[in-house]
Structure 1
Amino acid sequence: MITPANSSEMVLVRACKQVGLTYEDAALLRAHSASVYLLPRESTVARISSYEHQGVQAKASVAIARWLVEQDFPATEPLLDHAIEVDSSVVTFWRYYSQKGREKPPARALGLILRRLHGLRPPPFRLPAYQPLMGLLRALERPNVLGDDDRAWLKERAEFLIQQYYQLDSHLGVGFVHGDAYRGNTLWGPHGVLLGDWDEASVAPRELDLVNIYQGVRYGVSDDVFDEFTAAYGWDVREWSGFTVLREMRDLHTLTGFVRRSVAEPGAAEELRRRTESLRYPKPEAGVLWRSST
């Protein structure tokens, strides 16, 4: 039961009151880059982003998802076609898809969805250009638990990869991408698998959407999963010259939420240090498995 004890809960309550949704039995589903709450009696999910982090993109994500649903594309559906602004936060409301008793959607489903996404005609509105690692660089400027040496290394590494990104020679071309496509953003819907979390939708080399799944090696995912994804999409991004650049970008990208949360949350601080050390001082012979961000 929600008894507003922290900033995200207070934002949730105020946003729900604005649109007449019941919030008393809200339950936190996830707190990372965005805070995600389930409103059980409304069969609705509320996503809370700050303007500093993803607020502008969160507002746009509603229009993007609505357009995709109208194209009969398997995207999660917004409950409201506009965002709610509460102080420095943006709240969007989405239809809830229960995953109870179901395993995570298979890799092949993500591959098929991305193949379809990359074949769509351009949307009837302007999409922003993808900004690689900007969120991480901004987060590193704020208070966090990393030492000066680690912060300097991450900043230098990010700037190097950004430079490499702008020199990539895309095989698939530049166009509409999801921007954060991985199995964690897929859900079982009423008629199959859906792709959600459109906050990072943008224009970029399409390979950007294909690399994220391969970061699964950090969590012990087997090659069979990667091969299944590749077969479904119909092209193996691992054979492309820019694969390593985008995969290493993804490694750094996943640090962003932990950097932001590290001061307030001991668990986030521990995982941030663990990931940073494994990137800075890799031990290929042993390997260091990362823990989930959820």
Structure 2
Amino acid sequence: MRGSLADEATAVLHEVGRGMGLDTEGARLMRVRSNAVFKLRGEIVVRIATAPDALTRLPVVLSVARWLAERGFPTVRPADELCDHPVVHSGRVVTFWRYVPASGRPTTTQLGRILRDLHRLPVPPFALKRLVDPLAEVRRAVDRSRDVLTPCQRAWLSERIAELTERWEDLENAGPPVLLHGDAWIDNLLRRTDGHVVLCDWDGVAVGPREWDLVHTYHGQRRFGLTAADVDAFAAAYGRDLRVWPGYSTLMEVRDMYAVGIHIRNAARDPFSRRELPRRLDSLATGDGSARWYLAPA
């Protein structure tokens, strides 16, 4: 039996480090979600992707981060001086980033402002994914999950995903497509020691409806402990309150389902996902829209 995702990622880190002459001793595992993220000495962050489509996606992620940085947008930056392209080892895709020293927790006001500025930018002049089917990865995870989900769970999820996808396609968005971060949750905002913030984790970058970036904060109140005041501050800073949009309830249900996909994919080999997945599935199956969900500890 293979080891855990964290163990596998640690082995990949050390092997890649040896091949590049990179000191990986004392590396600190920061989190395991869609990536295993390590902090190295020398102010380098190494991200080892767990998603199956990483090799096709990550070159674009690096390009977008560079494009944003060149325009002065507050984003994390690739460590191009170390390696300017993804490295593939043992089926895993590895990228290298500059570490951002962080202090304190950012606010939803800061998140609203940074997303407002992001959505005002032009779409970058290179090919980007179009967000036309936000549940595509969840659908694939369910199809491949015979060792994690029961046949009844798989059947119910497949039917529910089909229903939500049809409702998503019927939504009327409030404006033209914009450059999306794709996972604009406050935990992907880093507050630097000088108080300014930078946006990190661009793996979901795409072109699509701005509502997709906005819904994460509202969903944070529904599932992850943000308060109504947090959401009010976010809406005021962005300049729009998603709660008055007719598609709000559908989008929240789509976001609920989206938030289950990573744990279906990782449950077989990640202890946290194995514990969290039943909680989220039970909430969806019973229609409990207020049950608290949890994030893996940093």
What TM-score results when the alignment is normalised by the length of structure 1? 0.91
Q: What residue number does 1:210 align with? A: 214
The CA deviation string for residues 183-206 of structure 1, in whole angstroms up to 9 with x for no partner, is: 010002365101111111011111
- Structure 1 letter corresponding to 2:143: E
Aligned mates of 1:55, 1:111 — CA distance in 2: 31
Note if 1:82 corresponds to 2:113.
no
Query: Where do residues 89-100 of structure 1 align in structure 2 (5 Å cutoff)?
Result: 89-99=92-102
Deviation of the 1:268 alpha carbon? 1.8
Task: Identify the residue that residue 114 of structure 1 maps to in structure 2.
Answer: 115
1:101-132 per-residue CA deviation (whole Å, 9 max, x = no partner) reads: x3320001110011001100221211111241
In the other structure, the counterpart of 2:238 is 233
1:1-294 → structure 2 map (5 Å cutoff): 6-39=7-40, 41-50=41-50, 52-80=52-80, 81-99=84-102, 102-130=103-131, 131-143=133-145, 144-189=147-192, 192-216=196-220, 217-283=222-288, 287-294=290-297
2:35–2:51 contact (8 Å) kept in structure 1: no
Contact 1:59 1:92 in 2 (8 A): no
Helix, strand or coil: the match of 1:288? Answer: coil
* In structure 2, distance between residues paired with 1:214 and 1:51: 25
Give the number of equivalent residue pairs: 286
> Following TM superposition, by how much is the alpha carbon of 1:70 offset from its aligned partner in structure 2, in angstroms?
0.4
CA distance in 1 between partners of 2:225 and 2:267 (Å): 24
Relative to the length of structure 2, the TM-score reads 0.90
Whole-angstrom distance in 2 between the partners of 1:270 and 1:146: 13
Deviation at 1:30, TM superposition (A): 0.6
Query: Is contact 2:6-2:270 (8 Å) kept?
Result: no
Q: Which runs of 4+ in 1 moved over 4 A?
A: none
- Aligned-residue offset at 1:53: 4.1
Cα deviations by residue, 1:155-208 (Å, 9 ceiling, x for unpaired): 211122222222221103212111111101000236510111111101111111
Does the residue aligned with 2:52 lie in a helix, a strand or coil?
helix
Q: What is the percentage of aligned positions where both structures have the same residue?
A: 37
Tell me the amino acid that sits aligned with residue 24 of structure 2. Answer: Y
Letter in structure 2 aligned against 1:47: R
SS state at 1:289 partner: coil
1: CA distance, partners of 2:288 / 2:115: 33
Instruction: Give a deviation string over 1:19-52, Cα, whole Å, max 9, x none.
Output: 432111111111112111111x121111111461
Question: AA paired with 1:205?
Answer: P
In structure 2, the CA distance between the partners of 1:119 and 1:158, relative to structure 1 (3 Å rule), is same
Q: Distance in 2 between the 1:245 and 1:56 partners?
A: 30
Q: CA deviation at 1:5?
A: 8.7
**Cα distance, 1:270 vs structure 2:** 2.3
CA distance, structure 2, for counterparts of residue 117 and residue 199 of structure 1? 15
Structure 1 contact 110–186 (Cα < 8 Å) conserved:
yes
